[in-house]
Amino acid sequence: MKEIIQVGFGQAGCNLTLSLLEQLASELHPTDTLYSESESTGNLSARVILADTDGEMPMIAKKYYPKGLSMVNPDLISTGRDGSCVCQSRGQFTTGREIQQKTEEQFRKMVEGCDQLMGIIVHSSVGGGVGSGTMGRFIDQVCSNQKGLSIVNNVLYANGRTNADQVVECYNSVLSTLPLVQSSELVILNTNAGLSNYNQVNQRIERPTFRDMNGLNSQAMSHLLGHFEVKQDMSSLASSLVPHNLFKFLTPAFTSNHLLSPANLDVTSEHALLTKQLFNPSFYLLHSDYLADTTLHPFRKHSQSKNLYQIEPIKHMASGLFYRGSDWSQENIASGLDWGSPNPSWAGQRDTKHKYVRQLGVGWFEDYPNYTMSIQQARKGGMEGEQIRPKSAMALHQNDFSKKVLREACDNFDRMYSKRAFVHWFVGEGQSEGEFPESREQLEAVLKDYESYMSPYEEENE
Ligand SMILES: Nc1nc2c(ncn2[C@@H]2O[C@H](COP(=O)(O)OP(=O)(O)OP(=O)(O)O)[C@@H](O)[C@H]2O)c(=O)[nH]1
Ligand SMILES: [Mg+2]
């Protein structure tokens, strides 16, 4: 059996990792892929390394994720004395440097203990100093030392809701573009706005906490890990989901039959409905204020009826669909993927309040109508205390939805950088000033590529 190593950087990264460990422990028996046995004590521990400059991280983890923390070997938890980094350069060059080197050493030893490493999953918030700077340097090093190793990043991306503490999050996120594009194979883009909206709308949690948001990410990520475990391979997913070198930023979605509401009854098959939900932006774990413009408000009047509006379609190049539970079959999944023809086709939703039919646009981008899927066994499922969850699914979409989140970070970046706000701080910590425009250009190149790849589709539908 091949192994997967998980690494968490910074507060959010460590919490996401521990939350996922608790989720996995609630679902299935430990496997060699994710756990190893200590030679001296015979105890099982997760193949996990945690790193944060903040010395209080283990205390916080113990408070919120005692069970998850008990599965991690304490020798593989590195903390610093300098507290929070906040800025990417501190994480990369100064405060986070020692932690990064220690993590690399621990990683090297862990790899030696593996028979055949499948790949690594790195969790972090790229808005944080450690989650961007220390993480970025780590994946760059791993990528150059272990050529061909699959690196999947599960990231929280900075979104517009910033407060004074988070004002440099857009810098941190944009500065992590280079390592993510160059070293990572897949970047799973989550935002806290997306996770908390999902918690509120679909799970009816009034005031979601980090624990709720992390729990949602874990439920989804557990499907991806299940897929890797079944396939015993991480790299083939990237080859089907990344048609182009720069298109590494994927939109995650999650659904389960616990979320089905009577309002959606016009779709007959539960399986088909769940599949359709995976393509519905309300079930994405990614959201930003920029997306509200296109997903909530009609932008273009439909030519045939003044009451019918068309919402900008989300163009899919490729999707990875990971199903879990009973009765899934190629046929009922295919019926969920059938939106009729011609392309683009629509998953309609009746909006009684506004008396018009809101159309949620879903279209396969014609040159790349491509999906890959797998079906896993049912597991106990759910966070502690939840009932059995017989059917659930996660999707990773290669679509143009992520573009808006990246664009928002760029605009926030530009607003700050035009005044050179806080740049001296980053430069004082060792960052070259040229890195700012270089990272920004790299991200612009990603965005421009999305636009140019999608443009034939737009012209066709004018
Ligand atoms: N969903 C979620 N978000 C978190 C969590 N912890 C922090 N965040 C968010 O992540 C962003 C900052 O990332 P952190 O992980 O705290 O930063 P870090 O990597 O530890 O780096 P520094 O604190 O800057 O040294 C902020 O927007 C926080 O609101 C968490 O457990 N879950
Ligand atoms: Mg921190």
Q: Are 5 and 114 in contact (CB under 8 A)?
A: yes
Least confident of 179-183, 244-248, 350-354, 388-392: 350-354
Pairing of strands 117-125, 150-157: parallel
Ligand 1 pocket: which of 18, 156, 198 to mutate (most atoms within 8 A of CB): 156
In ligand 1, which atom is closest to the CA atom of 213?
1
pLDDT digits (tens, 9 = 90+) for 432-445: 989 999 999 999 99
Q: What is the residue with the minimal CA distance to atom 12 of ligand 1?
A: 128
Residue 285 falls inside a structural domain: yes
Nearest CA to ligand 1 atom 4: 12
Question: How confident is the model at residue 161, as a pLDDT?
Answer: 58
Domain harbouring 133, CATH code: 3.40.50.1440
Q: What is the pLDDT of residue 268?
A: 52
Q: For residue 52, how far is its CA from the centre of ligand 2 (angstroms)?
A: 7
Quickly state the pLDDT bin for 385 (edges 50, 70, 90). very low
* Whole-number pLDDT of residue 248: 93
Q: Which of 18, 97, 125, 197 to mutate to test the pocket of ligand 1 (most atoms within 8 A of CB)?
A: 125
Residues 365 and 233 in one domain: no
**Domains identified in the chain, total number:** 2
* CA end-to-end distance (rounded Å), the chain: 51
Give the per-residue pLDDT at 359. 37
One-letter amino acid identity for 454? M
pLDDT, tens only, 308-322: 333 456 777 888 999
Residues 30 and 97 placed together within one structural domain of the fold: yes
Q: What is the mean pLDDT of residues 450-455?
A: 72
How far is 284 from 250, CA to CA, in rounded Å? 11
Query: Does residue 434 lie within any of the structural domains?
Result: no
Determine, yes or no, domain membership for 411: no
CB 248 within 8 A of CB 181: yes
Rounded to whole angstroms, the Cα distance separating 458 from 455 reads 5
320 and 370 both lie in a single domain? yes
Residue 93 has pLDDT above 80, yes or no: yes
Q: Sorting pLDDT into bands at 50, 70 and 90, what band is 374?
A: confident
Per the model's pLDDT, the better-predicted residue between 383 and 377 turns out to be: 377
Question: Taking CB atoms and a 6 Å cutoff, what residues make up the pocket around ligand 1?
Answer: 10-13, 15, 52-53, 84-86, 125, 127-131, 156, 166, 169, 192, 195, 210, 213-214
Q: What is the CATH number of the domain that holds 275?
A: 3.30.1330.20
pLDDT in tens, 127-139: 999 999 999 999 9
Q: Whose CA is nearest to atom 23 of ligand 1?
A: 84
- What is the bridge-based pairing of β-strands 314-325 and 48-52? unpaired
Comparison of pLDDT for 81 and 232, the residue scoring more:
232
pLDDT band at 1 (very low <50, low <70, confident <90, very high): confident
Q: Is residue 350 part of a domain?
A: yes
Which atom of ligand 1 is found nearest the CA of 210? Answer: 32
**Most confident option among 231-235, 271-275, 337-341, 345-349:** 231-235
Ligand 2 midpoint to CA 452 (Å): 37
Does 301 share its domain with 223? no
CB 135 within 8 A of CB 183: no
- Closest atom, ligand 1, to C-alpha of 57: 20
- Locate the ligand 1 atom nearest the alpha carbon of residue 217 and give its number: 1
Query: Does residue 249 sit in the same domain as residue 264?
Result: no
Distance CA(382)–CA(218), nearest Å, equals: 10
Determine, yes or no, domain membership for 424.
Answer: no
| Contact present, 80 and 96 (Cβ < 8 Å) | yes
Given 226, 254, 282, which residue is the final one in a domain?
A: 254
pLDDT band at 292; cut points 50, 70, 90: low
Going by C-alpha positions, the residue among 85, 199, 189, 92 that lies closest to residue 139 is 92
Please tell me the predicted confidence (pLDDT) of residue 289: 67
Residue 445 lies in a domain: no
> How close is the Cα of 434 to the center of ligand 2, in Å?
26
Q: Are residues 232 and 358 in the same domain?
A: no
Q: Indicate which residue's Cα is closest to atom 31 of ligand 1.
A: 12
pLDDT grade, residue 453 (50/70/90)? confident
Do residue 275 and residue 388 come from a single domain? Answer: yes
Does residue 361 surpass a pLDDT of 80? no
- Tell whether 324 and 222 lie within a shared domain: no
CB atoms within 10 A of CB 372: 16
Residue range of the domain that includes 363:
258-404
The protein residue whose alpha carbon is closest to atom 7 in ligand 1 is 12
Which atom of ligand 1 is found nearest the CA of 53?
Answer: 25
Contact 53, 82 (CB under 8 A): yes
Q: Are residues 235 and 302 in the same domain?
A: no
Residue 306 has pLDDT above 90, yes or no: no
Q: Write out the two tokens for 212.
A: 């709720």
pLDDT tens digits for range 209-254: 999 999 999 999 999 999 999 899 999 999 888 877 788 999 999 9
For residue 164, how far is its CA from the centre of ligand 1 (angstroms)? 14
Same domain, 241 and 271: no
What pairing do the DSSP bridges indicate for beta strands 249-256 and 44-46? unpaired
Q: Do residue 33 and residue 78 come from a single domain? A: yes
User: Is there a domain that residue 30 lies in?
Assistant: yes
Is a pLDDT exceeding 70 seen at residue 380?
Answer: no
459 domain-assigned: no
Atom of ligand 1 nearest to the CA of 90: 25
Pick the atom of ligand 1 nearest to 85's CA. 25
pLDDT at 159 over 60: yes
- Tell me which residue has its CA closest to atom 3 in ligand 1: 12
Lowest mean pLDDT of 390-394, 415-419, 444-448, name the range.
390-394
Is the domain of 46 the same as that of 181?
yes
Of 305, 120, 285, which Cα lies nearest the Cα of 193? Answer: 285
pLDDT classification of 299: cutoffs 50, 70, 90: very low
The helix/strand/coil state of 4 is strand
What confidence tier does 297 reach under pLDDT thresholds 50, 70, 90?
very low
Q: Using 50, 70 and 90 to split pLDDT, how confident is the model at 87?
A: very high
- 402 and 253 Cβ atoms separated by less than 8 Å: no
Domain stop point among 254, 276, 305: 254
Q: Which ligand is nearest to the CA of 134?
A: 1
Task: State the ligand closest to the CA atom of 196.
Answer: 1
Write out pLDDT tens, residues 167-207: 899 999 999 999 999 999 999 999 998 999 899 988 889 99
Flag whether pLDDT at 5 surpasses 80. yes
